[in-house]
Amino acid sequence: PRPGLRKGHMPGAKNLFFLDLLNPDNTVRFKPKEELKQIIADAGIPLPLQPPKRVISSCGSGVTACVLLAAFNIVGEDTNQTFLYDGSWAQWGSHSDTPIVKD
């Protein structure tokens, strides 16, 4: 939680922690391709991504969200279907008029 930001998540958001995609013994390397596919699918993101399906990756500030985009590239997904919301929660959660979901 960050001071001044609402709690919750963006509507339709799926939670996939970026470290889950990385090799635990060497976090500058990704897990194998087939394992990445399974982790992504287990997070509720069906593959392959085909129009109109797309992924908009976000996090707290837009930095670690890039890890997910790199993983989609590694597994051979169409990068025209993957996007980065660089404002991420720091922007979304700071506006009173953006919809949020509280679980």
In this structure, the number of other CB atoms found within 10 A of the CB of residue 62 comes to 17
Residue of 36, 59, 65, 71 marked active site: 59
Q: Determine contact, residues 92/10, Cβ cutoff 8 Å.
A: yes
**Active site includes 66?**
no
Preceding peptide of 48 cis, ω within 30°: yes
Active site residues: 59
